[in-house]
Structures are given as C-alpha cells and as structure tokens.
Amino acid sequence: MTAAFGVVSISASVRSGEVRALDVLDAHLEVVASHEAGVHAFNEVTAEQARVAASMIDGIVAGGGDPGPLAGVPIALKDNLCTAGTPTTCSSKILQGWHPPYDATVVQRLAAAGAVFVGKTNLDEFAMGSSTENSAFGPTRNPHDQTRVPGGSSGGSAAAVAAGFAAGALGSDTGGSIRQPAALCGVVGAKPTYGLVSRYGLIAFASSLDQVGPFAMSVADAAALLDVISGPDPMDSTCLGEATARSASRLGSGVEGLRIGLITEMQGAEGMADDVKARLALAADALSGAGAKVDQVSVPAVTFGLSAYYLIAPAEASSNLARYDGVRYGLRAPGSADITDMYLRSRSAGFGDEVKRRIMLGTYALSAGYYDAYYGQAQKVRTLIVKDFAAAYENFDVLLSPTAPSTAFEIGAKSADPLTMYLNDVFTIPSNLAGHPAVSVPFGVGDDGMPIGVQVLAPALAEPLMFQVAEVLESLAPPAPLSASRRSLRALGAPADRGAAL
Amino acid sequence: MPRSITTDDVAHVARLARLQLSQEELTRFTQQLAAVLDHARDVESLDTTGVVPTAHALPLVNVLRDDVVTPSLDRATVLAEAPEVEDHRFRVPKILGDSQ
Amino acid sequence: MSTEPVVPAPSSGWETVIGLEVHCELRTQTKLFCGCRNSFGEEPNTNVCPVCLGLPGSLPVLNRAAVEYAIRIGAALHSTVQASMFHRKNYFYPDMPKDYQISQYDVPINAGGWLTLPGGRRIGIVRAHLEEDTGKTTHVGGGGRIHEATRSLVDYNRAGVPLVEIVSAPDMRSADEARAYVDELRAILVATGASDGKMEEGSLRVDANVSVRPAGSEEFGTRCEIKNMNSLRSLGRAVDYEVSRQIQLIESGGVVSQETRHWDEGAGRTASMRSKEEAYDYRYFPEPDLVPVDPPEEWVASIKASLPPMPSERRERIAEMSGLPAGSEAVVTVVRLGLDDLVEAVGAQGADTKSVGGASPAVAAIAVKRAANEVASDLAGAANLERSSFAKLVRMESSGQLTSAQARTVLKSMLEAGGDPEVIAEGLGFEAMESGGLEAIVDDVIAAHPEEWARYSEGEDKLAGFFIGHVKQATQGKADLKSASALLRSRR
C-alpha cells in the first residue's frame, strides 16, 4: 500500500499504462486539499502546471513512448530551487514575487525524467534553521503531530512526503537540512557526496557545504531519485566531471561481512535523548544480527564540527546574501534618500532575524583582524575532520550515528535560543564539512510516539554502499505509523473502466 | 581567540553588511552572537599548527569552459523583475561617494 | 570640494614615486564566467544572463580563453605563471551584481616580472591577475556629476567581462616615466593579442598610486590612489597635479592621508572620493564556487612558444639591424607603429652579407628613418605602400641614385598613390644616377687617394670631409651626401 505510492512503483505503473499519471497526481492533490492548511508544507501548490505535465506523460504512454524513469511521480521541490516562471522565494520576504528566468539543473533533470511537480515547499528562510519556523510565510507543522516542528531547513519537503502530498521531494542540506527533518518526519532523506549533484539553480546558503538531495518513503525510492538528479553539469564548476556508479546499484546485497562503525563521539553528545540512544543501539544490534561486524570507532575531530560549521557557513552566507540589495530583483524599500539608505532599509525589511544573525556572524568571522582566528581556524578544523574520517574508513565500510539528538520538538520550544537550535545539527554537520554522503533512515518511534532516524555515513562517492546498508536497516526497523494524511491517500483506480486497485 | 564581541562590533558588522538595527536588536543580537562565538571557542583548543586549511572537500582543479557564446536573457524579462527601470537600465537612488 | 591651486613641482628636494595598476579587458568572445557576449557599445542590458546578473542560484564557470590570455600576458611580462585560485572581494556597489567581485588575491596566476622601457629602464611587475569587470553606472540629473546626480542607472553588459589587472612595482619616478610605462605596457598587451589597447573605450584603464618623499630617502611616503584618467595625457597631468598637491601639503605642515582621489579632467585637479566613515574591509575569502587553476606546464609552454616578439625585442632587433640606439625615437616609433616589416623588407631584398636581416646597417638605418618619418606621418597611406617598392626606394637612396630630399618626395608620392619609385622619380624629373653610380664614384675617389684613405682607415675621421668633397665634385653636387658618408664608412 505504501509501496504503491512510492517513486519506483508509481513510475512502473504509469509506464506500463496500469495507472494514469493524472490519477496519481489527483490522489495526492486531494490529500493536499484536505491537509495542507494544517501542515503548511507548501509556499505554492502548482496544481495546474502539474495537471498539464501529468496529462503530457499520459499522452506519451498512450502513444507508446517512454516518458522516463520518473514517469508521473509527484514531486515537491524545496522553494530554494529555481523554477522558470514559478515564484522562488527561499521563504524570504526579500525574494517574494521573484520569478526566476531559468530552471535549476536538478529541476530540469526531474522534468526530463517525467516527474510532475506538485509545488514549492516551505523552508527556514534561506535554509537557515532546523525547524522551518524561520519562514517569512509561517511555520510548517509535523504531519505526525501538528503541534511539533517538522525539522528543517527542508521541513516543507520532509512534511510533504510524510503527509502524502508527494511521493518524493528534493531538499538541500548544508548542515543536516535534509537528514534532520527526514528523521523528525519519519521519511528517508539523503545528502549526497559534495559535487555529485549540480548546485546550479540551488539558491546558495553556504556554497562549499550545500548539496541537493532526495526525500522519499523508502531507501530504494530515495536512491532512484538521486540517480536521476546526479551527474556532471557544465554549469557548476564544483560538480564532479565524471559519471559515478548508480546509487541504487547495490540494493538488495545485504550487510553480511560489512564492517560498520558506531561513532563514539556521537553517542553521548550534549542534549541527546535516551530514546534516540536506545534506537541507535537497537539499530546496531539489528545490523549485527544481519551479519555485519559492528564496532565502536572514534572520530575525534567531529566534536569540533558544530563550531567550525557556525563559522564557515555564516561566512559564506554573508557573501552569498549580499546580492539581495533591492537593485535588480526582489524587495526594495521605497522612498530611500540614497543608495546606502536603500540597501539598509531593503535588507533590514527583507531578511528575518535568523538570516540577519548569520550574516552578521559571518561578516564578523571574515572581517579584518578576525579571519585567522575564526574562518581560517575553522577551515583547518575541516581538514582534521576529513583526516579523522579517513582514518575511520580504513577499518570500517560505513559509520552509524543518530540523525538528530531528539524527536520533533514543540513549535516555539527552541526559537528563543539560537545556540540550542544549532545543537540539532551536531550529528549531521560533520558529513557536510567532509563532503561525504549520509542518509537518515526511519528506525521506529521515540517514547513520545514520534519518528526517530538513524544516520548511515559513508566515504565520498560511496552512495551505493550507503544505500545498501540503509536498505537493510529499513527492513529491520521497528514498525512506525504513517501520518494520518498519508493514510488517507485513496487507492488508485486503474484508467478507464478497469477497477483494480494498485 | 579574540575577546568577546561587543555592541560596537555588532554595529560595525551590521553596517558592513548593510543591515539597520534598532537599539533593542543591537542588544539582543550582541548577546546571541556572543553565545555562539563562545561556543565556537572550542576550536581554539585544537592544535592546528601545520594543518592546511580546507576550502573545499573537492579534489577538482582546472574546470574550464570553451569561449563560446551562449544566448543571453531577453531584456524585457530581466527588467520586469527590477524594482525601478529607466531607459532600459536599473534605476537606483543617488550614490554618495564611492564604495569601492 | 578642494580648491588647491596647481603649483609647479619643485626642481629638487623631493622624489616622486609612482606605481600603476592597469586594468586590461581581454578580447575574449564571452565573459569571464558565462557565455554572454563580451562586446562594447551594445544596447544596455542585452548581454546579460543569470550568471553575470548574479541571479540567485547561478554559478560561475571559468572561460579557458581568458586564462590563456592571462598566461600570454604573464609570459610577455616575464612573470612566473603559477597555480592560482579565486577569492571574493566583498563590498556593496550597484554596478556589481553579486555585491562581491570575483578576483585573485594572495595567489594570482602571474607573479612578479618586469618590462623594459624604450630608454632601457626596467620596471618591476608585482602581479598580473584575473578578475571580473563591473557593470556601468550612469549618473543622471545634476549634469551627470556623481555628487550632484539625483539617481543612477545601471547597465550590466560589462559586468563579468574578463580583466587582467597588472600591478607595477613603485618603480616610476616621474609622470613621463609613468606615461612611458603605460605606452609600453599597452604595446605589449596588444602584441599578446589579449587587448585592443583602447583607453578611450575603457578597455585599458589606469589607476596611479602616487607618493612623494625627500630626495635620498629610503622610505615611501603615504600614497594616494588616483582614478578616472582615460588617456596618457590625463595620466601625466593628474600625476603632476597630485605630486604638487602632496609636496605643497607637506611643505605647509600638513600630512598626506591615504585615500582614493578622483581626477577631474575639466577642472584639472584630483579630489577625494570617499566619505571617511567607510572602512576598507573587503572580507576576502576563497571563492567556493570555483576550483583552483593550475595550468599544466605543457599548456604554458605552448602558449609561450606562440607569442610574437615583444616591443623591446623588436626594438633590439631594429637597433641591431640599423646600428641606431634601441631607445632612439625613430626605432621606438617604427616599433610602436608596427612598421618593423618595412625595415625587414629592405633586408629581405638586399644581398648584403653578414648583416643582420640581410641589409647593411647604413641601408637599414635609412629604412628606419623613412618609416619613422614619412610613413609614420601618413599611416593611412601606408596601405598603398608595397613592401618591395619601399625597399627599392631605400636602395635607391642608399646607392645615391636619389638624394635624401628626392627620396622623401618620391616616398610621399608613393604613400599617396602607390607606384614604383623608379617611375615616380623619373616622372618628377629627378636626374637619376645610374644604379650603383655613387658606389663607383666613391670607389674611384678612394682609389685616387690611397694615402689619405690609409689614414682615414686608421681612424682619422676628419678626412671623411675630404673624400665627401671629392664625391660632391665628381657628381656636380647631385650625390646624396649622407649615402656617400655611409658608403665611405662601409668601405673603411
């Protein structure tokens, strides 16, 4: 039943003509209509464009053509991915009403593969946050419990998949912005190796850390999405120039004989909840039971990851966000006396508090006299993290950690204290600093009944191995309920008069 | 590691970043940034002598494109997004001095 | 607005120190980081795309041709071409779409180097690095002056055009030397193919760092950066003005403050550009959207091998061919105007053995002078000038077939309407001496006075007059005396 609404199963059914893309889309749009008001996953639902796209897919199938590997799959896009002609806001007032004249490379690739875009999802403004509360358009709520946050910054994408609004989604992950909301919403979310997926058209937060990645209800579906969006792109100098092995290439291979390391520094960290710790232990045992060799491993430098991250990411952000100045597009405060006045007033009115904090933090870290102490030192910490991971991978194939320190917290619980909020990313940040892939897999629920995620970390470009382990973990996970709205997805009727449900 | 960040520092970086802060914001942001920077002080304890900084986790070098013209954007589309336009150009309020 | 009067620079007591920053737009087809056309003078905002407009989500990709031009420039300036990277220089200005400029900072593609001025002085090059140009801001209202404008209009066609910024050492000591440096650098940039050298179109822009110090002092004075000079003439005027201003300021007890000053061509003075409150804090950091550039050795070698001879080498060659000093005005002019091939053509035609280029120094020297004078003053006419006809004319003059005055007249006619020098000379009624006639007469005179010839040959130079007198007599004054002297010397 859930599989029927998965990425792989939908495209198979649509390509075979078993179901129509338009019916698949309508089923999801019905759930959007009934539950979006409560969840607020979207900044914009693009129902009409989606219907046109789905009809085209059905036309291709009817004509005997191949609409591509994601034929008719409803996908939600984080609203920091540029979509030609469709507003792209980054959940910021400063970009409200901006229509990009071009599509992000990942958007082009999904469209070419036959995906149907349901809408643009809410995020923490400019992807800065861990709860999707920092949105100029209001918070997104967790589909499992609307009093709680969905995580962030890609909270809208995670919630859209968890809520049954879409079969899959794209998010971006700078310090955990895919994996942490995936964990909090009970879905799979993967951050690929830096450079595997083009960043062209992803509105930058911190360029050396940002990476686009998939959300889905299953590991296989996430891998299928990643395989469509990854690959060389001449528009992105930091995108790897050669094709790599398919992420889904090792699915079904089991974990027999694999060496899996439990990162010591990520088991007793600050603010880590007991139920999260217990689920991690359970996951380790399960993998061990499946034939893997599980052991403790120390990666000492990861404990400095959070500090290094909160110097590097704001520094790059302070520069990336300078362009929002009211000259060429976006918000301009009216009636300014001179250009500087216009900059000051436009930027102050257009950015929210968290964005301002990070811009100032980054400006400070780069400013004369502090560069070496802050930015320079953080870049060296980055080197140490890479080195310590390399040492760990000499003895282990993949590493294991919790994704987030706790289950989803109440809306408003952490918004007053930025530092407490930042601690949400403590387990996810090291992979961004190292440029390595990592995936969060749902692994049961916590004492509060909310989803818990376990993170599988792998060396650069080892996505096939990472998904291989993640899939086994998924198969061994304790049961976790679907959200009420996803449960409400109606069974799909076959096209025309055939009545068989999928 | 440098001394704690002060309201003067915050006022200075806000100016550099073209952000206007009220007195209340200045006080609040200073406290919040100080807390983050205090936490970040743990990187100070690391011995990084001889450690080469990593700007990028990528092993890439010499990514170059050929010198071939590709289509530019339609001017009307570009200017349609602009807050103010005059004579096919982006209009801005008067510039005092030179910021360069 | 300052109103310091211009005072003449004191003749002694102070030394001027000048370093120049020259921004050179590269002649690529496309911009530095995107495929938009790199073209001057187009309709505003037509050569723009997401990348050069700095639209959210866009990313830069480096143009190979720009890197190649940068390497050509570096090779021509004797720089070390090295592995380099890009940084972001952060500051707000509406002509910069991203509000940062992608430039090279501590590791430029070209480090060190020098160029040689025609006079022989070597000026150090600190670096020559790649960066992107800004858009163009037009100040509207208040008569176009930035201070009085009511608003500004921005055109981003130029934004992202590739630049190489060439930073000299503070090695120049006068406005004249600064001008000579820019002139020489421009010739080098044009020779590499990297630049069209057009200062008036802004494809070559010069900023000057000017300071003064007591003569004999080792320490540098506080410098001011002068901007907005769009010709060699304004560079000279601006430097002279600024030197006088600084000296007067110091002598009257003031202190020069480090600042950027704007040259006002109309008013003939420099004025401070920046409000003092704005700090210089560009917050440079490595550009995360680009990867390092480390040109493979073979690439650099093949680029170096493909470079044509640079102006200083060409001057050396012409000097060697003609016996004229490399820094002489005639040689400098020939090379500056690219008339080397005329001189070479004379050599190619001649059969003088053992001479550089195939012509004897005396003959080549005549070619240099004719090129630097008559041809230089009618460059449009040079199109009418067949290389072989020019060579023939020079031979006619050197052999005494034409006097120098006659040769000049014939050449002017050739520049106006082309043609064969012999035919033109005949048409003008110049009594032609037989080909080789002058040489025969000189030889006759030498043979007739063996004793004097021996003394002259041993170095008694004043006897030249004696021989020339005889040649004059023998030709009834028709001989070109300069040619006769040259022949005399060549036989010594």
Q: What is the pLDDT of residues B57-100, one digit of tens each?
A: 888 999 999 999 999 999 999 999 999 999 999 999 998 765 44
3-state class (DSSP) for residue C212: strand
Judged by CB atoms closer than 8 Å, whether chains meet at A235 and C59 is answered as yes
Q: Which of A306, A307, A357 to mutate to test the interface with B (most CBs of B within 10 A)?
A: A307
**Which uninterrupted H or E stretch holds A179?**
helix A179-185
Judged by CB atoms closer than 8 Å, whether chains meet at A361 and B37 is answered as yes
CA distances from C31 to A378, C133, C201 (A): 33, 9, 17
**C378 plus C235 within the same structural domain:** no
Domain ranges of chain B: 7-45
Enumerate the β-bridge partners of residue A148: A410
Judged by CB atoms closer than 8 Å, whether chains meet at B99 and C150 is answered as no
**C392 plus C404 within the same structural domain:** yes
Judged by CB atoms closer than 8 Å, whether chains meet at B70 and C36 is answered as yes
Q: Which residue does chain A place closest to B11, by CA atoms?
A: A360
What mean pLDDT is reported for chain C? 90
Domain-embedded: residue C330: yes
Please give the Cα distance from B31 to B6 (Å, whole number).
9
* pLDDT at position C357: 64
Return the structure tokens found at C410.
Answer: 């014939």
Name the catalytic one among A11, A130, A135, A177.
A177
Q: Is A338 on the interface with B (CB under 8 A)?
A: yes
Cis peptide before A153 (omega within 30 of 0): yes
Number of independent structural domains in chain C: 3
* pLDDT at position C399: 85
Domain-embedded: residue C6: no
Please give the Cα distance from C108 to C123 (Å, whole number).
19
- Residue C120 zone, left/alpha/beta (φ > 0; ψ -120 to 50; rest): left
Residue position matching structure tokens 């794209």:
A170
Surface-to-core class of residue A499, CB atoms within 10 Å of its CB (0-12 exposed, 13-18 middle, 19+ buried): exposed
Judged by CB atoms closer than 8 Å, whether chains meet at C50 and A101 is answered as yes
CA angle C327, C328, C330 (to 5 degrees): 130
- Under a CB-based contact definition with an 8 Å cutoff, are residues C129 and C103 in contact? yes
Q: Nearest CB to C46: which of B66, B75, B87?
A: B75
Single residue among C305, C327, C345 that ends a domain in this structure: C305
**C39 plus C111 within the same structural domain:** yes
**Does residue C197 carry a pLDDT above 80?**
yes
Nearest 10 degrees: CA dihedral of A76, A80, A86, A89?
Answer: 120
Enumerate the β-bridge partners of residue C65: none
Fold of domain B7-45? Histone, subunit A (1.10.20)
Domain-embedded: residue C88: yes
Residues of C in contact with A207 (CB under 8 A): 288-289
**C426 plus C466 within the same structural domain:** no
Name the catalytic one among A13, A153, A440, A483.
A153
Enumerate the β-bridge partners of residue C129: C165
Surface-to-core class of residue C376, CB atoms within 10 Å of its CB (0-12 exposed, 13-18 middle, 19+ buried): middle
Rounded to the nearest 5 percent, the helix, strand and coil shares of chain C are 40, 20, 40
Q: Is A3 on the interface with B (CB under 8 A)?
A: no
> What domain range is C182 assigned to?
14-305
* Nearest of A311, A304, A357 to residue B31 by alpha carbon: A357
Judged by CB atoms closer than 8 Å, whether chains meet at B13 and A332 is answered as no
**C259 plus C131 within the same structural domain:** yes
Domain-embedded: residue C9: no
Domain-embedded: residue C4: no
Angle between helices A7-16 and A21-39 (to 10 degrees): 150
Q: Nearest CB to A319: which of C53, C62, C100?
A: C100
**C206 plus C273 within the same structural domain:** yes
In Å, how far from its chain's centre is CA A201? 16
- Under a CB-based contact definition with an 8 Å cutoff, are residues C80 and C288 in contact? no
The per-residue pLDDT for range C381-424, each reduced to its tens digit, is: 888 899 999 999 999 998 888 888 889 999 999 999 888 999 99
Judged by CB atoms closer than 8 Å, whether chains meet at A375 and C285 is answered as yes
Domain-embedded: residue C7: no
The per-residue pLDDT for range C244-267, each reduced to its tens digit, is: 999 999 999 999 999 999 999 999
- Under a CB-based contact definition with an 8 Å cutoff, are residues A325 and C56 in contact? no
**C371 plus C455 within the same structural domain:** no
3-state class (DSSP) for residue A56: helix
Residues of chain A contacting C, Cβ within 8 Å: 80-82, 88, 90, 95, 98, 100-102, 104, 199-204, 206-208, 234-238, 315-316, 318-319, 322-323, 325, 327-329, 339-340, 343, 363, 366-368, 371, 375
Return the structure tokens found at C483.
Answer: 């040619």
CA distances from A446 to A163, A179, A443 (A): 19, 17, 9
**C243 plus C125 within the same structural domain:** yes
CA distances from C322 to C339, C343, C482 (A): 14, 9, 15
Residues of A in contact with B73 (CB under 8 A): 101
Q: Which domains does chain A have, with CATH numbers?
A: 3-304+379-487 (3.90.1300.10)
Domain-embedded: residue C442: yes
CA atoms within 13 A on the CB side of A303: 14
Q: Digits of tens for pLDDT over chain A (502 positions)?
A: 345 799 999 999 999 999 999 999 999 999 999 999 999 999 999 999 999 999 999 999 999 999 999 999 999 999 999 999 999 999 999 998 899 999 999 999 999 999 999 999 999 999 999 999 999 999 999 999 999 999 999 999 999 999 999 999 999 999 999 999 999 999 999 999 999 999 999 999 999 999 999 999 999 999 999 999 999 999 999 999 888 899 999 999 999 999 999 999 998 766 789 999 999 999 999 999 999 999 999 999 999 999 999 999 999 999 999 999 999 999 999 999 999 999 999 999 999 999 999 999 999 999 988 898 899 999 999 999 999 999 999 999 999 999 999 999 999 999 888 888 899 999 999 999 999 999 999 999 999 999 999 999 999 999 999 999 999 999 999 999 999 999 999 887 544 443 333 3
The per-residue pLDDT for range C284-302, each reduced to its tens digit, is: 999 999 999 999 999 999 9
In Å, how far from its chain's centre is CA B63? 25
Please give the Cα distance from C193 to A206 (Å, whole number).
38
pLDDT > 70 fraction of chain C, expressed in percent and rounded: 92
Judged by CB atoms closer than 8 Å, whether chains meet at B98 and C94 is answered as no
Name the catalytic one among A11, A78, A346, A485.
A78
**C231 plus C359 within the same structural domain:** no
CA atoms within 13 A on the CB side of C96: 21
Domain-embedded: residue C52: yes
